[in-house]
């Protein structure tokens, strides 16, 4: 299966949760332990090893917060 790595620019995430709804592996969630400089809980990946590099999250993100690398 394909592998990927997802990274977030947490400072500009507005916590819309769109990325969490389109991930086929269900490995994205909002980080309830952090608040970014805009005052939102940013998205983060809970298991990088499960990322398949599909880039659904990056495609749906309205603010270009997410970068996906295919490994």
Q: What's the pLDDT score for residue 1? A: 75
Q: What's the pLDDT score for residue 23? A: 98
pTM of this structure? 0.92
Q: 21: domain range?
A: 4-70
pLDDT digits (tens, 9 = 90+) for 3-61: 999 999 999 999 999 999 999 999 999 999 999 999 999 999 999 999 999 999 999 99
The domain that holds 31 is classified in CATH as 3.30.70.20
- Spell out where 1-71 has E strands: 4-8, 28-30, 43-45, 66-70
Q: What's the pLDDT score for residue 46? A: 98
43 phi and psi angles, rounded to 5 deg:
-75, 155
Domain count, the chain: 1
Q: What's the pLDDT score for residue 32? A: 97
Query: At residue 2, does pLDDT exceed 80?
Result: yes
């Amino acid at each position: 299966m394909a592998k990927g790595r997802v990274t977030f620019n947490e400072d500009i995430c507005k916590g819309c949760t769109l990325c969490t709804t389109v991930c086929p592996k269900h490995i994205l969630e909002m980080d309830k332990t952090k608040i970014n400089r805009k005052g939102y809980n940013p998205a983060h990946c809970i298991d990088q090893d499960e990322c398949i590099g599909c880039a659904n999250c990056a495609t749906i993100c309205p603010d270009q917060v997410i970068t996906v690398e295919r490994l």
